[in-house]
Structure 1
């Protein structure tokens, strides 16, 4: 196979006209790859994404060709996929106020140009899910920035922008309904979309994982403070306790106890969503 790209978490290979995505155990925060891997993280992300692609297959097509027709050394963490011409917009849906969305709201009373009611606080649920796209910046070239819907229309055209918003919100709504049945809140999520050779807009990359979403335990949700995260926000919060890291390369080593706590959260969300025991 030919290595096409090495990202923060995944390697992208070309093989027999297809793409093979291989998820590593690397973990990144604030666009910095940390030097300590999280064991089995790549496999958890891959298997959870495959589960979600199947759950939402009737809603929007995806890029998956096979999860078994991959090199043996990558078994469990690789997916054979269609080549997609990826849309250069990060498609994000939010149903709750947290993270950068909270900061944007506190500054502007809006997120990505979407006005929100006054008086919301950290962890508040929104009146309805909103589409809050950002730019897609290559690793090492800065940070993603919020885009308004008009910005997206300017970048990709009105018709494509409308489809990006529609699909993103439908994926969030369906995913949230499924997760709620398992006691999990999806506060927000990011999806990747691209065009197949026939012009169909399809889901790519990963889907509704602890790397791409904020997952909270529903029975512990309480607006007004930090929630119990079942995703990599736990690691971001740990890094906030460090006084000698400025969120640039090189990233700090992760203590063994923090690695284990992060891994346990990834496993917990996988098991609660799918109903399967992680092997």
Structure 2
């Protein structure tokens, strides 16, 4: 088993040509800093939810999944055997609401990643249409991901691939947002990752529509003009931001027990509400 990469949350190994094993840990990162306190079951939730979404979205775009069973026993439940693909150097983000860095950018310039938005929007506003707001993929040791305009994506990937990235990201977002709204959850924004297969086919990779890669709001509690109640990693972000004593550089602070318990509960609740499956009876 050859280690290939250690990310903020996932570790990648290889034991066969053309295949990798993606292992989701219980680590949690905010502001590109891995915090010292794990969230129990987080890796299993991310894996189980991603597998469910890969299945739901398979008719939109191929994905890299080979098997969740053909993995070492020590990682079973939080590992996926995948096709090895050439990961594209763009984080593909779709936004349906103004939140996070999108809200900050709008306040400063009226735009997000070069996309002009109407005046008068407030924090939490639903956008007229979902927008594609990509960022760079910057290793944590080199800084933070930075917003990219669509033209900058074209410069990196070429016209044809850039159009595929934009159109596929927005299609995935719309499909997932519609399904989740039926379950009383708003998909605020989400980040997806793509690679190219050896024949040039675009492939959905990494994770998809999880509390780590997305913002989820309770539809019944949505109230534009204020900070929303989030059901995702924002629980940890808000705690870290409200500390007022951490400068968002390593090392990160330890997470208190009550925040750990709340975060785990939110992740499990989102798995159950999205999939309609009990966490204790998951496949």
TM-score for the superposition, normalised by structure 1: 0.99
The alpha-carbon deviation at position 181 of structure 1 amounts to 1.0
Residue 85 of structure 1 contacts residue 196 of structure 1 at CA under 8 Å; is this kept in 2? yes
Q: Deviations over 1:186-217 (max 9, x none)?
A: 00000000001121100000000000000011
The alpha-carbon deviation at position 227 of structure 1 amounts to 1.1
- Counting only pairs closer than 5 Å after superposition, residues 100-111 of structure 1 correspond to structure 2 as 100-111=101-112
Q: Deviations over 1:201-250 (max 9, x none)?
A: 00000000000000011111110111111101111110112132100000
The alpha-carbon deviation at position 103 of structure 1 amounts to 0.4
Instruction: Say what the alpha-carbon RMSD is for the aligned residues.
Output: 0.6
CA distance in 1, matches of 2:133, 2:126: 15
CA distance in 1, matches of 2:149, 2:240: 30
Of 236-245 and 199-208, the range deviating more from structure 2:
236-245
The corresponding residue for 1:152 is: 153
Confirm whether residue 40 of structure 1 aligns to residue 34 of structure 2: no
Is the partner of 1:39 in helix, strand or coil? coil
The corresponding residue for 2:7 is: 7
CA distance in 2, matches of 1:241, 1:228: 14
TM-score for the superposition, normalised by structure 2: 0.98
* Unaligned 5+ runs, structure 2: none
Aligned residues: 279
CA distance in 1, matches of 2:109, 2:83: 40
Is the partner of 1:140 in helix, strand or coil? helix
Confirm whether residue 139 of structure 1 aligns to residue 140 of structure 2: yes
Dislocated runs of 4+, deviation >4 Å: none
The alpha-carbon deviation at position 166 of structure 1 amounts to 0.5
Is the partner of 1:228 in helix, strand or coil? coil
Residue 185 of structure 1 contacts residue 215 of structure 1 at CA under 8 Å; is this kept in 2? yes
Confirm whether residue 72 of structure 1 aligns to residue 80 of structure 2: no
